[in-house]
Amino acid sequence: MAKFPYAPAPESRDVARLKPSYQPYINGEFRDGTGEAVKTINPADETPLAEVSEAGEKDVDDAVAAARKAADGSWGRLSGTERGKYLFRIARAIAERARELAVVETLDNGKPIKESRDVDIPLASAHFFYYAGWADKLGYAGFGPSPRPLGIAGQIIPWNFPLLMAAWKIAPALATGNTVVLKPAETTPLSALVLAEIIAEADLPPGVVNILPGGPSIGAAIVDRAADGAIDKIAFTGSTEVGKIIQRSLAGTPARLSLELGGKAANIVFDDAPLDQAVEGIVNGIYFNQGQVCCAGSRLLVQESVADELIVSLKRRLSTLRVGDPMDKNTDVGAINSAAQLAKINELSDSGEAEGATRWSAECTLPERGYFFPPTLFTDVSQSHRIAREEIFGPVLSVLTFRTPDEAIDKANNTPYGLSAGVWTEKGSRILSMANQLRAGVVWANTFNRFDPTSPFGGYKESGFGREGGRHGLEAYLAH
């Protein structure tokens, strides 16, 4: 099939207004951290973007002290109406600087500019706007007539949606009157530090939000402070492995915990589904953000009678995806976030072949520099293969087949994870029956990877507990 030629349409890097160096934001001030200064890398070309001064143990203590002072003082005493107005300010400021933030995000993360521009940044702004409105209405949220904040929320977020995850964490915490110590991921600190500028410019009282760039040791230090009683709640988004470590660390302590962990979602296509739409949904499900999405539809379960036809269509569609420079507005699939992640994707994909599955990758020319992986799918996959069980967190789809709805349910639920699932069929009663039986926190029917601030998100089983988004998302930050 002939490919339409596209001339490059690069977004301007200057829009990001990158600074040579970035600092932690503690007690209302930007200052050098006591950790190391590290370079953050553009994964699309492996060049350094900026230097980031990482936080150290002392900075964690200072941030916690500042957050405590704010929780007990200026922020704790503020009315819900005024708290909400600060959040509205942040929402507006993110929208105002949306283009800048989108470019920062794409440079630091490697995701296509059209995704950061059309998904990450608008949703981050919308999330603040949504929770802003809750701040003076908490008595109506169904958690008692006058719910109280917990105190300090320690928040640890991943690198796949850096700004959006910061918004998911900070907005509900502030709306409910908590203060925040947040650690962005080590490979993607920049957008959170631009958000810190926005928060500073919004005149939030010092200590209400503290942002500490750093590696796993800083995440562990934040969890330790919670175990010691200095932090009241931990909210973590990341791997199930680390989630379990945190759950153990907080055992026997009064600290509250919410976990949003890994997934291995089934995307189930019945023979009566509109296959063209399903193909688009499958592509969105696993190749969106290079598949680096905890709720990615990484296991395609297709009814046997349409499997061959669907796979042909899918391969044809994947061959038209444009893989390459994330800053090009035409790019569909950008860079993998880090060399380490690329190595993990390679290792698991190799295991797929070694265990007997058949690999197919879209023919595409990958850039010579940077961390890239072509859209890939595996057929002849059995449920015992690692690529059908483990979270790959990359643009790799494992295709399995089924004959009956019961078999589809059994296979879909045959995983320790339970974050999301997809169903494609034209039959309404079947959609509702499948949605009932799928053990997953989010079920997308005839769509996939939709997100909204009003819509609760979170997992069953080893995908974690607690919900983010919507009225339900308030509960994780309220004492009751």
Partner 1 sequence: MPTKTKSPERLRVRKTYKLYIGGAYPRSESGRTYPVTDSHGELLAHAAQASRKDLRDAVRSARGAVTGWSRATGYNRGQVLYRIAEMLDGRREQFAAEVAAAEGLAPAAALANVDAAIDRWVYYAGWTDKYAQVAGGTNPVAGPYFNFSLPEPVGVVGVVAPQDSALLGLVSVLAPVLATGNTAVVLSSERRALPAVSFAEVLGTSDLPAGVVNLLTGFTAELAPWLASHRDVNALDLTGVEPAARRDLQIAAAENVKRVHIPAADTGWDADPGIARLGLFTETKTVWHPIGV
* Residues designated as active site: 260, 294
The smaller minimum CB distance to partner 1, of residues 322 and 471, is found at 471
Residues 6+ apart with CB under 8 A from 223: 154, 156, 234, 246, 249, 250
CB of 439 to partner 1, least distance (A): 8
Q: Which is nearer to partner 1, 366 or 431 (CB)?
A: 431
Tokens representing residue 127 in the block? 């999330």
Q: What is the DSSP string of 280-339?
A: HHHHHHHHGGGG--TT---EEEEEHHHHHHHHHHHHHHHTT--BS-TTBTT-SB---S-H
Tokens describing residue 463: 């995908």
Nearest distance from C-beta of residue 432 to partner 1, angstroms: 8
CB of 43 to partner 1, least distance (A): 30
Cα distance between residue 370 and residue 338, in whole Å: 9
Q: At its nearest, how many Å lie between partner 1 and the CB of residue 475?
A: 8
Compute the least distance from the CB of residue 35 to partner 1, in Å: 28
CB 299 within 8 A of CB 398: yes
Q: How far is the CB of 176 from partner 1 (least distance, A)?
A: 17
Nearer to partner 1 by Cβ, of 370 and 441: the residue is 441
Strand partners, 149: 478
SS3 category, 219: helix
If the CB atoms of residues 36 and 118 are measured against partner 1, the closer one turns out to be: 118
Q: Which residue's entry shows tokens 């005839």?
A: 446
| Residue reference for tokens 């153990």 | 248
Q: Which is nearer to partner 1, 243 or 297 (CB)?
A: 243
- DSSP summary character for residue 462: G
- Extract the tokens encoding 430: 């079947």
Strands 37-42 and 47-53: antiparallel
Q: Which of 58, 87, 294, 51 lies closest to 180 in space, CA to CA? A: 87
Residues in contact with partner 1 by the rule CB under 8 A: 126, 142, 240, 243-244, 247-248, 250-252, 259, 261, 416, 431, 435-436, 440-447, 450, 452, 454-458, 460-465, 467, 470-472, 480
Closest CA to 32 of 65, 14, 3, 54: 54
